[in-house]
Structure 1
Amino acid sequence: MFSQLSKRPWLIAVAISLLLLLWLLSGDAFRAREQVGAEQAPAEMGLSKVQVQWLQAQPMQRQHVVQGQIEAWRRVELRAQISGSVTRLDQDKGSPVTQGQRLLSLSADNRPAQVAKGEAEVRQREAEVNAAQRLRERNLISANELARLQSELAKARAELDMARISLQNTAISAPFAGIYDQRMVELGDFVQPGQSLLSLVDISQLKVSAQIAQQEVIQLKLGQPVRVELLDGRSMEGELHFIAAAADPGSRSFRIEVKVANPEGLRLAGASATLHIATGEALAHRLSPALLSLDASGRHGVKWVNDQQRVEFTPVELISVDNQGAWVSGLPPKVALITLGQGFVEPGQQVISQTVEGS
């Protein structure tokens, strides 16, 4: 082969030229790679890397979630109006009673006699007035004398009414249907006017009271449905039937009451419950509460990456929080939320973002 090339020197020249050209081209490519690497390294040098997840806003039901206290619909403490001894316990505490049913009896003492005396006094005064009116028609007595007798009759009638009321007050009756809840006296106890005797509660309906912030009360209206969640996970349906006209001076919050039907007579009064008050539909993002942060003003917000790969901080409104996550509003409809590394970057900072799988 070499003998053939030696006979053709122009082939040797061509081969050398080709090898020289390949060597020059390989050197240019190597320098080009070095130049690109040199340009990219300063651009990426010092940039923080974060992981992002793309979130799309979804329609959700806005609601206020507040803690409340379940109360009996009505509760009354019955007190003695007269002095006397407890002569009979007509009902057992804890039993259901109807309106007007006798619950407890006090001693009548001399009250029946006072009523009989008052009735006799009234009959006598009525006879005197009737006679005086006939005499007045014949001008046999003066008008002043007739007026005096009429005044005596009115006084006798008033005393009779008082005696009858005093006798009626020996019977302590239920002002409404409910549960005979507590009794503060025992058989034979002597009681004085104003002393507590027993309590009666109406749990055919319940009311759940709560305090709601002043910026949220404007979104409420009477009659709107409310879901009441009990501590054991059960739920009851109610409606908002009371909103305070003025805020509490101390907390600056407004008292609300939710009416809940209780046909089964469940003994829930005194327990705690969570109120879920729907206030309309809104677009929101669902995310982990751990991704929420605070800005210098103390506002809740989240960090995300814009199209220029810069960190943005957007304040959000916390709509609701549960064990699965938080619903927030205020973000763009589609956002690249920083899920890893948000604590090491600040708004406006250039970053390198990596989208997590499955987002």
Structure 2
Amino acid sequence: MRIVPILTAILVAAFLFGLVIERERLFALVSTLSPRADVAEAPDATPQEVSEAEPPAADAVDDGVIRVMATRSVAREIDTQVRLRGQTEAARQVSVLSDANGRVISEPLRKGAFVDAGQLMCELDPGTSAATLAEAEARLAESQARRPEVEARIPEAEARLAEAQARLEEASINAVAAKRLSQGGFASESRVANTEAAVQSAQAAIVSAEAGVKAARAGLDTLQANIESAQAAVARAQTEIDKLQITAPFAGVLETDSAEIGSLLQPGALCATVIQLDPIKVVGFVPETEVRRVEVGALAGARLNGGVVVQARVTFLSRSADPTTRTFRVELTVPNPDLTIRDGQTAEILIQSQGVMAHVLASSVLTLNDAGTLGVRTIDANSEAQFVPVTVLRDAPEGIYLSGLPDQVDVITVGQEFVTDGVPVAPSFEEVIQ
């Protein structure tokens, strides 16, 4: 029979019995036999000896106080930016349409070609437009040639009127003289009657002469109307001829081919599309919550999807919100002399705004309260934890910029998830530990 395994089993059983059943007595016995207890009970042990024998625990705090890590943050002024997503747009874009009927007789310009303002893009067959213009010009020349003749009739009619007035005056004098002679018995009644008839005849001549003057002047007015009508016909015919040549309204780039030679264009048909890329616009849409931070003339920058970075200023800010998205259109005008920036490129826009006071902290300090509000846990003057809502301004390599905190604040960096408002804490500051 083996005695060693039996003794081992008995000792293990006794140890487990003491550890489980008589645990408190076992720990008391161990504490009594411990050398530290002897040192603590020695009456003449110096404080230094006691300290060397058993250093105090580093985390010894009052009951209910939670030890946390904290940092003391001081706010500083930073330049804030409004970040938008947008795209580039041509400064001007127009679809040049035809105003006349006709077949194209000019060689087409291919898309991508550069055109100057006033450069011919599509020319239409003139047809009978030239003959119509020549006819209108001939009628105008004829009307203008008649002007001296019609104008000469007015002085002639006025002279006849003056002659009739003179005859009336003479007949009136003769009639008065005949009446006086007749009263004295020196003239017959027939002579008086003849003089009175002469007066009436002179009066009729005056009426006829006045009608002649009015007719001459009316003829001149009619001639002037004919001249103006002929001039309008000439202008109309010239306009129709001008419509046969479709030119570029401004300098730019052809986005489409111009109309092919031989094709029939009608009013409203497309000749070509021209876009202007210098300067070019960068367009974004500002939410209504940040529109007050954007001003016309503010410095801005844009990063295009090809890596190109440009700087400009805000040249337009809409006063009316989009009815669907409730955002406001904002535009930057960027020089583009070499046309490297294309229409429709995606852009990330940063618009400089007024500086604000902010704290730079690690993103790990952020937490949520029971209502789901984003914020941080701080330590108040009574060494109690308090939740403070914050606003994230932007990210940076050194951390995140937060607003909504006092200018100087102690922020819990480790342990903020284990405390609530009003819980006493014992902070260890990172600056002191470092």
- Tell me the TM-score normalised to structure 1 length: 0.78
Q: Which residue of 2 aligns with 1:98?
A: 116
Mapped contact 1:91–1:102 kept (Cα < 8 A): no
Q: Which residue of 2 aligns with 1:117?
A: 135
Question: Post-superposition shift, 1:88?
Answer: 1.8
Alignment of 1:179-218 (within 5 A): 179-183=253-257, 185-218=259-292
**Match for residue 269 of structure 1 among 327, 343, 359:** 343
Q: Which deviates more, 103-112 or 170-179?
A: 103-112
Letter paired with 1:255: R
Distance in 1 separating the partners of 2:371 and 2:269: 56
Question: Post-superposition shift, 1:315?
Answer: 2.7
Letter paired with 2:106: R
Distance in 2 separating the partners of 1:199 and 1:322: 44
Q: Which residue of 2 aligns with 1:62?
A: 80
Is 1:221 aligned with 2:295? yes
More strand by percentage: 1
Structure 2: runs of 5+ lacking an equivalent: 1-39, 48-55, 158-211
Letter paired with 1:178: G
> What value does the CA root-mean-square deviation take over the aligned residues?
3.2
Q: Which residue of 2 aligns with 1:256?
A: 330
Question: Post-superposition shift, 1:130?
Answer: 4.3
Question: Post-superposition shift, 1:291?
Answer: 4.5
Mapped contact 1:305–1:312 kept (Cα < 8 A): yes
Distance in 1 separating the partners of 2:143 and 2:371: 84
Distance in 2 separating the partners of 1:198 and 1:287: 57
Please state whether the residue corresponding to 1:319 is helix, strand or coil.
strand
Alignment of 1:19-98 (within 5 A): 43-45=62-64, 50-98=68-116
Q: Which residue of 2 aligns with 1:170?
A: 244
Please state whether the residue corresponding to 2:224 is helix, strand or coil.
helix
Question: Post-superposition shift, 1:331?
Answer: 1.4
Distance in 2 separating the partners of 1:155 and 1:268: 51
| Identity across matched positions, percent | 26
Is 1:305 aligned with 2:323? no
Distance in 2 separating the partners of 1:352 and 1:176: 73
Letter paired with 2:324: G
Letter paired with 1:59: E
Assess, with a 3 A threshold, how the Cα gap between structure 1 residues 157 and 44 changes in structure 2: closer, same or farther.
Answer: farther
Question: Post-superposition shift, 1:245?
Answer: 2.4
Assess, with a 3 A threshold, how the Cα gap between structure 1 residues 68 and 348 changes in structure 2: closer, same or farther.
Answer: farther
Letter paired with 2:87: Q
Assess, with a 3 A threshold, how the Cα gap between structure 1 residues 345 and 134 changes in structure 2: closer, same or farther.
Answer: farther
Letter paired with 2:239: I
| Rg larger for | 2
Q: Which residue of 2 aligns with 1:152?
A: 226
